[in-house]
Amino acid sequence: MASSRRIQSYLALALALLWPAEAQLTTESTEVCDQSDQSLLQLGSGLGCPPVPQVSCQNTLGTMHNGPTPGMKKLSKAMPDVDLSPADCSLCSTPGASASLYSIERFDGMGQRAAHLIVMMALASHLGVNFGGLLPHPSTEVHGADVHACLSAVVGSDYTSLRKQVRHANFDTCFFGSHVLLSTFEEGHQPVGQKILFQECGFGKDIVRFLTPTFLQKLRQHTQLLSHPTPYFGHEKRIRVAVHVRRGDIDVSRQTNRDIPNNVYLQVVETIRNMARNMAEIHVFSTTKEGKHASSDFEAFEKAGMTVHLNGDELGDLAHMAQADVLVQAPSSFSWVAGVLSTNCVVSFKSYPGGLQDWIFHHTGSFKKDDADRLRQCIQDRLHSTGLL
């Protein structure tokens, strides 16, 4: 059994990335929460707690915050009346494990669904159990994305097989809240059985020790995004820079801390250009689909010599970000996922949670000396690897 310190770290780790909620302050909000250095990024493009389908729990620990929606009940009736069995996928199995951890499918943004899936797989691996899959939700599309195709590519397994189509799932133990899950695993006195359900509603900040190098290596080996075509990148020997500017679904009247001004991104890109000795091609990825922004909002990037890609295929956008020599993230789980998959330079907002140890951080466009030095070295390494130096 892991040490107390290690288990305590799980609590923060298990919470770290599933930002969509208004964290522990509310469990039923469908609104987006602002970003701040105090609360980090409690996104909530959707929901706090994902509703729990109709299930049976032999042992229940914690309090379920919200039960099945009418859509879930309708979906369940159409599912086959079969026993629940764990998913069979490359990232699902943990050597020597017999028990399986199941979670509940999120129904907010594609990036948050992908982040949730990655984190649940990593959590299962850390706890020494298999990842059994997700109990499904009726929603299949968000922001115009084919979520199933995107998520299949992210983890390198058929996402449909990870959604457990069972009319009524039976679990040995149902955990509602990470504190009860992790304290139970820490104490080790109470058997949890073979089928474990976990619903989480609130999220913390420490993800670095959770997404271990071993898990990340396995994830990167199996994802399809690192081999997906990237036609936007030119054939010339240039440093490829991808900039994610989160705009499409942001309500600027409410989400002022997530509607990052253009000048912040422009400042970061100017730093990168100088370090790359003007041997960089810059690509900006964003959307206007939701109608809250217009293409004219991106003219500043075009005037600065960047190529702007709006309303593109989400899978293609993620692939470009993940394969870029330098990725400049938005405060968004969408580009966070790309950063987790990337093996190159990743530039992130310091105030955004879940930054990996080798990422480079800026403070609203400005770099501290250590981060600037690390960015310069990373870019130099990319220049050498591409034959530009």
Query: Taking the CB of residue 69, how many other CB atoms lie within 10 A of it?
Result: 17
Rounded CA gap, 119 and 127, in Å? Answer: 12
Cβ neighbours for 49, distance < 8 A, ≥ 6 positions apart = 21, 27, 28, 65, 66, 199, 200, 201
The three-state secondary structure class of 183 is: helix
Specify the 3-state DSSP secondary structure of 254.
coil
What is the pLDDT, as a whole number, of residue 99?
97
Query: In this structure, which amino acid lies at residue 352?
Result: Y
Per the CB < 8 A criterion, the answer to whether 174 and 60 are in contact is yes
Q: What is the pLDDT of residue 12?
A: 40
Among the listed residues 151, 73, 148, the one whose alpha carbon sits nearest the alpha carbon of residue 115: 151
The answer for residues whose C-beta is within 8 angstroms of residue 274's C-beta and 6 or more apart is none
Cα(316)–Cα(322) distance, rounded to whole angstroms? 10
Q: What is the DSSP code (8-state) at residue 173? A: E
Residue 276 one-letter amino acid:
A
CA distances from 27 to 23, 50, 56, 201, 265 (A): 8, 9, 22, 7, 33
pLDDT, tens digit (0-9, with 9 covering 90-100), for 349-389: 988 878 899 999 999 999 999 999 999 999 999 999 988 87
The two structure tokens encoding residue 183:
């304290």
CA angle 256, 262, 268 (to 5 degrees): 115
CA dist list (Å): 118 to 99, 238, 294: 19, 31, 32
Nearest one of 284, 327, 280 to 308, comparing CA atoms? 284
Q: pTM of the predicted model, to two decimals?
A: 0.84
By the 8 A CB rule, do 351 and 250 touch?
Answer: no
Q: Which tens digit of pLDDT belongs to each residue from 131-146?
A: 999 998 776 555 445 8
Tokens of 337: 């996922």
Rounded to the nearest 10°, the torsion over CA 252, 254, 258, 261 is 40
Alpha-carbon distance of 338 to 256, in angstroms, equals 24
* pLDDT of 233: 96
Domains annotated for the chain, with CATH where assigned, are 4-211 (no CATH), 239-385 (3.40.50.2000)
For the chain, which ranges sit under pLDDT 70? 1-48, 139-145, 201-209, 248-258, 290-291
Q: How far apart are CA 29 and CA 209, in angstroms?
A: 30
Containing 100, the helix (H) or strand (E) segment is: strand 100-104
Amino acid at 135: L
Q: What is the pLDDT of residue 183?
A: 86
**pLDDT tens for each residue of 35-64:** 333 222 233 333 467 888 889 999 999 988
